[in-house]
Chain A
Amino acid sequence: QKEVEQNSGPLSVPEGAIASLNCTYSDRGSQSFFWYRQYSGKSPELIMSIYSNGDKEDGRFTAQLNKASQYVSLLIRDSQPSDSATYLCAAWAGTALIFGKGTTLSVSS
């Protein structure tokens, strides 16, 4: 069964620190990967997509992909209390988008 795994957390960081979120996937054929942010009671909101090995930066967010290790990560620099949410990693496996169960991030002020 194709899976995406994440540490459930909670991951606690102080305001201004770097938060590092990690994800592994089982399907070696996966080519597209996504990070979504979900606030409590809300729907997932796309933060980043990444398709190639290496880093992709967008503002305070950097996604990293290593296909050989089947590993995807998300770094959040200068973490803010408003970043406190659950972060979902997702990977296309065949014709289905598979989600991890999410990592809960708590940023304290």
Chain B
Amino acid sequence: KAGVTQTPRYLIKTRGQQVTLSCSPISGHRSVSWYQQTPGQGLQFLFEYFSETQRNKGNFPGRFSGRQFSNSRSEMNVSTLELGDSALYLCASTEATSTDTQYFGPGTRLTVL
């Protein structure tokens, strides 16, 4: 099976812009979770989608949003970018239940100038 894929792998944006990141889970996996990873804060949970519904949300401002499509692919959007949004954004997929093993994609490195 192909693994989790994320596009793009690298992005450079300026403050105030918005960005959309994409994630395709492992075939057959219906749950997609998003994380932000920074050197100071480690891996922080953004949100989780299952069957097109947001099932869980972390403690991030409303500028961070996401959605999931019927084919389980997911996108996350960050509006009005701030310098502090520079991070590695990771997507992880699980087969069904929320206690299943999560498999990570390669991540999208976002730099905000």
Taking Cβ atoms with an 8 Å cutoff, the residues of A that contact B are 31-32, 34, 36, 42-46, 49, 88, 90, 92, 95-102
Among B33, B45, B105, chain A packs the most CB atoms within 10 A around the CB of: B45
Interface flags, B87-98, vs A, CB<8A=1, else 0? 010101000001
| Interface residues of A, dominant DSSP | strand
- Taking a contact as CB atoms under 8 Å apart, the answer to whether A31 and B104 are in contact is no
- B 57-113 contacts with A by CB, 8 A: 58, 88, 90, 92, 98-99, 101-107
Q: A31-B99, A46-B103, A101-B41 are in contact. List 9 more A-B contacts (CB 8 A).
A: A34-B101, A42-B106, A43-B90, A44-B104, A90-B102, A95-B56, A96-B58, A97-B33, A99-B43
Top 9 A-B residue pairs of the complex, sorted by shortest distance between their CB atoms:
A101-B42, A99-B43, A43-B104, A95-B56, A43-B107, A95-B98, A32-B99, A92-B99, A44-B104
Residues on A with beta carbons closer than 8 Å to the beta carbon of B43: 44, 88, 99
Q: State A44–B88 Cα separation when bound (angstroms).
A: 11
Q: State A104–B24 Cα separation when bound (angstroms).
A: 29
Q: In the complex, which of the residues B41, B88, B102, B106 contacts A97, with contact meaning CB atoms closer than 8 Å?
A: B102
Q: In the complex, which of the residues B42, B56, B99 contacts A100, with contact meaning CB atoms closer than 8 Å?
A: B42
A-B contact pairs, 28 of them (CB 8 A): A34-B101, A34-B102, A36-B104, A42-B106, A43-B88, A43-B106, A44-B43, A44-B104, A46-B101, A46-B102, A46-B103, A88-B42, A88-B43, A90-B102, A92-B98, A95-B55, A95-B98, A96-B45, A96-B48, A96-B56, A96-B58, A97-B92, A97-B102, A98-B45, A99-B35, A99-B42, A99-B43, A100-B42
- Taking a contact as CB atoms under 8 Å apart, the answer to whether B45 and A97 are in contact is yes
- Taking a contact as CB atoms under 8 Å apart, the answer to whether B42 and A45 are in contact is no
| Interface residues of B, dominant DSSP | strand
Residues on B with beta carbons closer than 8 Å to the beta carbon of A43: 88, 90, 104-107
Residues on A with beta carbons closer than 8 Å to the beta carbon of B58: 96
Residues on B with beta carbons closer than 8 Å to the beta carbon of A97: 33, 45, 92, 102
